[in-house]
Structure 1
Amino acid sequence: MPHEPTTPAEYWDKYKPHKGKGPQPAPQTDRFNWTQYSDHGPGAEILGSPRRALELGPAEGTEAAHLAHQGVDVTAVDFSSVQVARARALWQGTPGLAFVHAEARAFLASGSTAYDAIYSVWGAVWFTEPEELFPAVAKRLAPGGIFAFSQAEPVAGLHGPQPMRGKWLEGREHELTVLRWQFTPEMWADILKRHGFTHIDAHILKALDPRDQGTLMVRAQAPAQRATPPRAAPISTPGPAGPP
């Protein structure tokens, strides 16, 4: 019998905690990692030099903390209350770092703060319908701001929303399933272009071991200037009638 998709918050509430109980030491923040392999691939330079950044789906918040330690004002949004509580405990007192419990699209639609960079490291971009998420991201980026995300290399021939299951969870009563969106780099570039992004770079970063899974890396830029609607032509009104 096929499994019904789990609510995403339920999945992520249960995903990380299985790795350990009780207080845990904070991860190292000396490097910004886009891939699942330590010290592999580019770092925070992908984001340029942002003063204010937004992370969508930070999990334990390691990358957000890395940026905050570099002096960036970082807001990190996650819809798992468990993940947010854990991240707040790990990075309590870190200047310029705030973790918010919210769904990514709802958060983007709820405010007006402009960010120099919006990014997702194997996070919310992977698990959210891009046709809904990307226009919301574009509205919250400062002119010329960077939108960047990474996720697993797509499986050949499987495009669009695909089920991901967490069979490893201990003590589960049923298999947990969520949907994740995967496309080829060319498809991601086309989607971004349709939503007004420019300077798009989408490619697969191969793993050091060719037998391992690669990482999809995507970087795009908001237009340097916001498009403004054309002004309506003035409505001409007839002047006073002249002498007959």
Structure 2
Amino acid sequence: MTDTVIAWDTYSRQRPERRPTNARGETTWFNWTQYADHGPGIELLEVDDGARVLDLGCGKGGNAAHLAVVGVRAVGVDVSPRQLAAARERWGLTPGLELHGAEAVGYLREDQEGFDAVYSVYGVVWFTDPALLLPAIRKRLRPGGRLVFSQRPPVEGCYGCQASYIPRGPDEDPLVVKRWDYEPDAWERLLKEHGFTDVDATVLAAPPGNRTIGTLIVRARA
């Protein structure tokens, strides 16, 4: 296993399973934020039934499964065998859902069919060098297709490539993965430099209560 695979397999052990139903009683749903039952849904992708949509860093598959249930051809990609095993166990028989174990840039470079939308929820776009990832996405997005991703807003003054730590056992050093943090205006400039248009990057406030960290949601068009 590579260090990256080990890191995300370790992270998978720490993540709870998606609830059987959400607050509306739905068995599948889409969530862009780190908070339950908060924020927009699949309308950000602007796709119709039968569209082919790629989830970069699909994890345990809940968002991709929801897309498949509502009639989208959902393709989920993740490097973690443990994450994918959990996704296949829960969602593997869902019609219209494909799950692949692969590194994101390599998968995009090999795909020949293209996508009507590409998205990432606290996933690959956060943890991959945009100089490598954005051109690969742009090449595989069909004309007018949407790229949408969400992640935590950056800590003030900590921009660009940062270290992100995944804890292990009490006597083990944490695993380290890289992430790319930018303020909204920097994401807008970066996406435009890579040929995207109609770019919008905003921070959605956290739900009411003691929570203070919002969710950065970025949208762009091929």
Fold equivalence (TM over 0.5): yes
Shift of 1:87: 0.8
SS at 2:87 equivalent:
helix
Q: Distance in 2 between matches of 1:210 and 1:112?
A: 46
Unaligned runs of 5+ in 2: 22-26
1:195 pairs with 2:191:
no
8 Å CA contact retained: 1:160, 1:181: yes
Contact 2:203 2:214 in 1 (8 A): yes
Aligned alpha-carbon RMSD (Å): 1.8
Aligned to 1:53: 53
Query: Are the counterparts in 1 of residues 29 and 62 from structure 2 also a CA contact under 8 Å?
Result: no
Write out per-residue CA displacement over residues 72-96 of structure 1, whole angstroms, 9 at most, x where no aligned residue: 0011000111111211111121000
Of residues 143-152 and 45-54 in structure 1, the stretch that sits farther from structure 2 once superposed is 45-54
Give the structure 2 partner of residue 154 of structure 1.
Answer: 154
Runs of 4 or more above 4 Å deviation: 24-27
> Where does residue 184 of structure 2 map in the other structure?
185
Whether 1:11 aligns to 2:7 is yes
- Tell me the residue number matched to 2:175: 176
User: Which residue type is aligned with residue 162 of structure 2?
Assistant: Q
Q: From the CA coordinates, give the structure whose radius of gyration is larger.
A: 1
* 1:54–1:25 distance in 2 versus 1, CA, 3 Å: closer
Paired letter, 1:53: V
**What is the 5 A alignment of 1:74-153?**
74-153=74-153
Structure 1 length normalisation: TM-score?
0.82
State the percentage of identical aligned residues: 47
- How far apart, in 2, do the equivalents of 1:171 and 1:110 lie? 40
Supply the AA of the counterpart residue of 1:165.
Y
Structure 1 spans left out of the alignment, 5+ residues: 1-5, 223-244
TM-score by length of 2: 0.90
Q: Is the contact made by 1:18 and 1:170 (CA closer than 8 Å) also made in structure 2?
A: no
Distance 1:210 1:156, change over 3 A: farther
Q: Alignment length, in residue pairs?
A: 213
Q: Name the amino acid aligned to 1:90.
A: R
CA distance in 2: counterparts of 1:193 and 1:25, whole angstroms: 35
